[in-house]
Amino acid sequence: MAADKSKKSSPQKRNETSRAAEIANTFEWMITAFILAFLVRAFVVEAYRIPTGSMADTLKGDHFRLRCRQCGYGYDCGSDMERYRPSRDSVVSGYVKPPASRCPSCGYYDAGNSAIPIFNGDRILVLKCVYQFYEPKQWDVIVFKNPLNPSENYIKRLIGRSGETVEIIDGDIYIDGQISRKPARVQDELWMPVYDNDYQPVRPREGLFNGHPWQQPWRNAAGSKWQLDESDPTKFRLACAADETSTLVYDTSLGNDFKATYAYDSIGSYMEMPYCSDLKVRFYVQSGELADGVGISLSKYETIYKAWVDFGGEMVIAKVSDGNEIKLVSKMINTSAVSEPVEVEFANVDHQLIFQFGGDKLTYDLGRLPDDAGERESDIEPVVEISGSGTLAVSHVAIFRDIHYTAKKRAGSDEVGRAIEGNALTLGRDEFFVLGDNSPNSEDGRWWSKAGIGNNGQFYRDGIVPGDYLVGKALFVYWPGGFEAPWPDSLKSFLLKSSRKNGLAKVLYGFVSWKWVPCIGQMRFIRGG
């Protein structure tokens, strides 16, 4: 019995063996987690920060978040990198003065006199190696190696793919001679505000609204009977006979015009930007007892298209020619719910007319060839009107424009880019063409003036992204420029003064100035093809 007992381990030795096994197991899991993290970063998902505004407003570089001091409309404006950023990968802390900007809704010019914080560029997750298994889709937002400097990563929107001929005509993308329409979810992301009637100035008599005092840009046509609601100036009311039509006209001499301007960019070139004729109008309508119908008119070049719903139940899209309406398409719907506000929307985009009334939708294809929407006249300003008959109330009126890909490197210059009308670009095998969403301020395939650099003395054609330089597809904005924590101003001021002489104070000031509170409302998926 004594011999058998001597073969057993003591409790102390068993505990030491167990602890050693636990430590070894912990290190094994740590090494495994490190390897998995490395593999995920290398082959699955990697995080990137957007350094510039070439993809704004879809993705933003370092920027200012502004709210119009007149109407309260929120918008973003890019920072002046040469002035504010000490290096490529850092952002100025504290408060600085933003550049002059213009509200994209009411048109108020803000000189940017008040110092405000700069927000970091969006931080995104990129799905890597996806293009090893799937062909890239048009309109994907992709990360790729800059062909002119392969050590840099760029991010743009994929426009042209292998074997396709790309041409930009009047701001639209044409592939192999036919207009390329954006998927609905991409289009929804790319609409830009022209005017939103819910945001009205509090001091309209200031002369800084496009160079004049503010006035309501929706005005009555001759004989029209629309009136502003006395209790709510953001609403329009109509009281006329059911067989009488009254029309509101959007007047660009009073409000923002339809030029391809970006609130994110410098205001210096606004007057020289081209017109964008792809527009959308949205409002909510509520009918009274004598209501007959409501409609929206949009022009494309010299042709006016009218979308109308009469409360007898017919939805119509018509073409107006010599004062006569030529019905293009129609359908019967149920209009019994118009006693409650119903959303109405009419868009003329990518040679397609899209009319929505509540849950009902009506579309008409104008054709895919460049001249199918009429003779192209880029210097003709679009017409936007709202019409109605009977007793109506209209609210939440807004106008939006589509993205407009510009043909010139700078507004007013004669320098035109690659893949512009008359200079189409045909892509070869494993070649891709990319553009930035911030078209007037994007260094993309239109402007690359040198051959791309490859391995072993190889070069790639000017203006293209080779397939082996594709890194991945942009997936999600996980950190869209956070906010500073609400530290007391006295503490920040004390640390700032102390940081000039004290290293610890400098570190602490950097900590309290770091924008580590997430902006949850702007976390979002990045829409692509």
Q: Where are the domains of the chain?
A: 9-43, 45-61+121-188+419-529, 218-251+277-401
Kindly tell me if the per-residue pLDDT of 283 is higher than 70: yes
Q: Mean pLDDT over residues 26-43, rounded?
A: 56
Specify the pLDDT at position 82: 43
CATH of domain 45-61+121-188+419-529: 2.10.109.10
As given in the structure block, the two tokens for residue 238 are 């109509």
User: In this predicted model, what pLDDT tens digit does every residue of 485-510 receive, in sequence order?
Assistant: 777 878 777 877 787 778 787 777 77
Kindly tell me if the per-residue pLDDT of 278 is higher than 90: yes
Q: Mean pLDDT over residues 239-256, rounded?
A: 94
Helix axes 489-498, 503-513, angle to 10 degrees: 140
Q: Mean pLDDT over residues 152-162, rounded?
A: 96
Kindly tell me if the per-residue pLDDT of 214 is higher than 70: yes
pTM: 0.88
Would you state the CATH architecture of domain 218-251+277-401?
Sandwich (2.60)
DSSP secondary structure of 356-382: EETTEEEEEE--SSTTTTSS--TTSPP
Residue type, position 96, single letter? V
Please choose, from the candidates 440, 393, 448, the residue with its C-alpha nearest in 3D space to the C-alpha of residue 419.
448
pLDDT band, very low/low/confident/very high, at 41 (cuts 50, 70, 90) = low
Whether 218-251+277-401 and 45-61+121-188+419-529 are alike in CATH topology: the answer is no
Kindly tell me if the per-residue pLDDT of 529 is higher than 70: yes
Specify the pLDDT at position 2: 47
Instruction: Round the average pLDDT of the chain to a whole number and report it.
Output: 88
Q: Mean pLDDT over residues 456-467, rounded?
A: 92
Distances (CA, A) of 110 to 63, 101, 116, 193, 268: 16, 5, 13, 17, 13
Residue 132 phi/psi, 5° resolution?
-80, -20
Q: What are the strands, taking DSSP E only, across 311-349?
A: 314-321, 324-332, 342-349
CB–CB of 295/388 below 8 Å?
A: yes
As given in the structure block, the two tokens for residue 245 are 């039509």
pLDDT band, very low/low/confident/very high, at 520 (cuts 50, 70, 90) = confident
Kindly tell me if the per-residue pLDDT of 110 is higher than 70: yes
CA quadruple 225, 230, 232, 235: dihedral, nearest 10? -10
Specify the pLDDT at position 85: 44
